[in-house]
Structure 1
């Protein structure tokens, strides 16, 4: 006879308290919209783009959503962020770690000072910011006693490499590893942790690259002949944060339109 699973309160399908980091635009906005449309209350986090974050907030279905600004590279600011979200929403059920830095720094063409800065900034936000928010949110989830979900936004680049953005690829690989470690550590508390690894997404930040020959080459990476829409990635994240996805804890879900197949 198999050992029965520990009993936890039923994780809610809707009406959850959700923190989406880096939600001012692009994928973050699509994530916030997906959870709001599901009937959840969303904390829309931004680092510096308050105006765009306000536009995200205004576009969300339902009510009870909040706007929160913080530099998550600062551990103290990250702690204040989670404290405020938990206070204003009454707790945290879902954390989506979407905030990230991604600036070019090709090794052959980047001076050493710029290289050092790029690695510092990518690590501070992409890895340490993700780790700190995860710890802070998990602590709240454990105290609440009803389990929870953490979903990390990783990248296809963690596996195939990012020659012009090596710190981005490396920190996203670390985020994947972090998610798997947390999945094991937090499972006894009813908290599932998963990561997604998107390929190229058509967002405002990178839409200029989809014109001309470069755009043709990027679309040709997928046998579907296109890139992802933000809503497609958001739909997968919404599932990964759902009650039905408990057994997907520890997974890294490839969302790249068969543009990169890893063994």
Structure 2
């Protein structure tokens, strides 16, 4: 399969790219600044999704699956100045939600013309249980992404277009290892019945399965990877 995977340079995105590549699939990744084999795509720019998709089609030809993983997790205080509050919300919703929706819309048109395809959206536990008081916008973006996933699944399954989401909890990546070693890490672990955070590889393997092997009848599903820190 030919797969476009956003945010592929590190963390969950890199783990997913590695899992898909080992399984024999061709993965074209993106990162904000590009790099070897990667498309440069800064999704805070509203034009980036369209340009990214066009470049992916140019390089891959047919695309069989889209994985929307690129995202930001940036805090803003509820008593921040109005301009900062508005800017933070706009950036988070643009990167985490609008760009994913824009890419999904383009993918659906491509899939309908080519006999079907799959979309996997990387959401978050926060989309169901909320997040910290500094991350209203992040939780809102991920809840909306879950709703987009379910809407796509319901609307296009009859045309062979399948949509899934994965909702990780706290996940250990290069960016979180230092935090987990601090006092904050103790609080995180106390909230996880499994006793540890998920690894990026575990989330990456879930993405691989959804993008390539999950039964068609499971379209619309959201897979939790959070060590039972949130169950529903």
Give the structure 2 partner of residue 70 of structure 1.
41
Aligned residues: 231
Q: Contact 2:46/2:94 (CA < 8 Å) preserved in 1?
A: no
Which secondary structure state, in structure 2, belongs to the residue aligned with residue 241 of structure 1?
helix
CA-based RMSD of the aligned residues comes to: 1.4
Give the structure 2 partner of residue 63 of structure 1.
none
- Runs of 4+ in structure 1 deviating by more than 4 angstroms, as ranges, are none
Out of 209, 213, 217, the position equivalent to 2:183 is 213
Give the structure 1 partner of residue 125 of structure 2.
156
Question: Mind listing any 5+ residue stretches in structure 2 that lack a counterpart?
Answer: none
Question: Which aligned pairs between 1:106-125 and structure 2 lie closer than 5 A?
Answer: 106-108=77-79, 110-125=80-95
Question: Mind listing any 5+ residue stretches in structure 1 that lack a counterpart?
Answer: 1-15, 55-65
Structure 1 CA distance for aligned equivalents of residues 75 and 171 of structure 2: 17
Which secondary structure state, in structure 1, belongs to the residue aligned with residue 38 of structure 2?
strand
Instruction: Look at both structures and tell me which one has the larger radius of gyration over its CA atoms.
Output: 1
Structure 1 CA distance for aligned equivalents of residues 142 and 76 of structure 2: 16
Structure 1 CA distance for aligned equivalents of residues 194 and 174 of structure 2: 21
- Structure 1 pair 138–73 and aligned structure 2 pair: CA distance change class (3 A): farther
Out of 5, 26, 29, the position equivalent to 1:44 is 29
Give the superposition deviation at 1:212: 2.5
Give the superposition deviation at 1:40: 0.6
Structure 2 length as normaliser, TM-score?
Answer: 0.95
Which secondary structure state, in structure 2, belongs to the residue aligned with residue 74 of structure 1?
coil
Give the structure 2 partner of residue 171 of structure 1.
141
Which secondary structure state, in structure 1, belongs to the residue aligned with residue 3 of structure 2?
strand
